[in-house]
A = this chain, B = another copy of it.
Amino acid sequence: MGKIDIQQLNDMANHLRIDSIKMTCAAKSGHPTSSCSAAEIVATLFFSEMKIDKAFPKNPSADRFVLSKGHACPVLYAAWHQAGHISTADMMNIRKISCDLEGHPTPRLDFIDVATGSLGQGLSCAAGMAYAGKYIDKASYRVYCLLGDGECAEGSVWEAAAFASYYKLDNLVTIVDMNRLGQTQQTMLGHDAEALAKRFESFGCHTIIVDGSNVVELLNAYDIARQTKDRPTAIVAKTLKGKGIVGIEDENNWHGKPVPENTIEAIEQRLMNKEDMTGTLQTKLPVNDAPCVQLPFGCIKMAPPEYKIGDKVATRQAYGTALAKLGDACPRIIGLDGDTKNSTFSENLLKKHPEQFVECFIAEQNLVGVAVGLQCRDRAIPFASALFS
């Protein structure tokens, strides 16, 4: 990667910052500082690492990106704007009732697979997508999930990490935007990247610590992740909240607040490169190797139930019987369970079609998230069951 390319990516990161700052100012609400810390991460992913299809963002062969820290969506909208997929006018309408660009991303948008914003849920969905890629589609697409560091206090993150390593999801890359600051104070680990990395390492991830504002370190980490086999990768990216905004960068009390409108010009002048060459940056196209799938919604063919009138059958037993029959009818019917498959009778599907069953162990939040991830881009029809006593 040459000097010009690096400068292009740095310039792009600053474009994402400026866009994030401007759109949240226009909305008079939103999260510019949480966006600014992630600017280089998103710039490098979208304009160097990931293979995406601007014309058809939900192309099943394209790489997936899950913004688990959904409140930082301005930087994501900015990326799709810079890629040419969102107009300036739309972008500046963020958070207006007339605009689909909400304050947290939803799958109503053609480039969003799963709704995020309620923290801690994205990695499970991403793990479901990665599972589909590796074991169901057997395709080359990869899944990138961006988390906040405050969010890593959520247990569901660790359920997902354990799942991803158990199933050797080496097509899954977790990136933590470790900007040190939560909503109201410093996070539990602050900037102790080693401590956070140890946690991901102990949960079976290959772990890399980088300066999250350094595009070369980021690109290098993605490269290592791509070469890592049989383990997911977790990149702990040390960043600064509000990076690039004088007086706000790395300061507390700036969560979820637009910058003062009269400071935008100075910020822009300071950040933007006069010889900006981002115009030549291109996103990479996917390799179209994911199978075309027509899921049989509303037209599945299966024999009718074999019960006689008066038969008494436990609901869960009927569920297991029906699930196995559905599995016969469609190879993309996938059962998931939380180590209760002999109670829920989802084991009926496992016994007939082991490749159509995902054991999720006793981690029900992750189970549901994985199911959500599996069904994205019509890759599968998941049936999630567990015993909640």
Chain A interfacial positions (CB closer than 8 Å to B): 104, 117-120, 150-151, 153-159, 162, 166, 182-185, 187-188, 195, 198-199, 201-204, 337, 339-343, 347, 359, 361-363, 365-366, 388-389
Q: How far is the CA of A329 from the CA of B34 in the complex (A)?
A: 39
A110 to chain B, nearest CB (A): 23
Check B153–A362 contact: CB distance below 8 A.
yes
Q: What are the residues of chain B within 8 A of A362 when measuring CB–CB?
A: 119-120, 150-151, 153-154, 182
Q: How far is the CA of A118 from the CA of B364 in the complex (A)?
A: 11
A34 to chain B, nearest CB (A): 13
Contact among B118, B155, B204, B347 with A155 in the assembled complex (CB-CB below 8 Å)? B155
Check B185–A359 contact: CB distance below 8 A.
yes
Contact among B150, B183, B198, B365 with A342 in the assembled complex (CB-CB below 8 Å)? B183
Check A155–B153 contact: CB distance below 8 A.
no
Q: How far is the CA of A202 from the CA of B162 in the complex (A)?
A: 14
Q: How many monomers of this chain does the complex have?
A: 2
By beta carbon, the residue of chain B nearest A149 is B362
Q: What are the residues of chain B within 8 A of A198 when measuring CB–CB?
A: 201-202
Q: How far is the CA of A365 from the CA of B363 in the complex (A)?
A: 13
8 A-B residue pairs with Cβ-Cβ distance under 8 Å, sorted by A, are A104-B389, A120-B155, A153-B362, A154-B159, A155-B155, A158-B158, A184-B347, A195-B204
Q: What are the residues of chain B within 8 A of A195 when measuring CB–CB?
A: 202, 204
Q: Which 3 A-B pairs have the closest CB atoms?
A: A155-B155, A198-B202, A202-B202
Q: Check A183/B363 contact, CB under 8 A, given A389-B104, A389-B118.
A: no
By beta carbon, the residue of chain B nearest A344 is B184
Q: How far is the CA of A359 from the CA of B151 in the complex (A)?
A: 14
Q: What are the residues of chain B within 8 A of A150 when measuring CB–CB?
A: 339, 361-362
Check B184–A340 contact: CB distance below 8 A.
yes
Q: How far is the CA of A118 from the CA of B153 in the complex (A)?
A: 21
Check A183–B153 contact: CB distance below 8 A.
no
Q: Check A388/B156 contact, CB under 8 A, given A183-B340, A184-B342, A188-B166.
A: no
By beta carbon, the residue of chain B nearest A347 is B184
Q: How far is the CA of A51 from the CA of B198 in the complex (A)?
A: 35
Q: How far is the CA of A388 from the CA of B201 in the complex (A)?
A: 29
A73 to chain B, nearest CB (A): 13
A170 to chain B, nearest CB (A): 17
By beta carbon, the residue of chain B nearest A182 is B339
Contact among B104, B339, B341, B388 with A118 in the assembled complex (CB-CB below 8 Å)? B388
Contact among B154, B166, B199 with A363 in the assembled complex (CB-CB below 8 Å)? B154
Check A363–B202 contact: CB distance below 8 A.
no
Q: What are the residues of chain B within 8 A of A104 when measuring CB–CB?
A: 389
Q: What are the residues of chain B within 8 A of A158 when measuring CB–CB?
A: 155, 158
Q: What are the residues of chain B within 8 A of A159 when measuring CB–CB?
A: 153-155
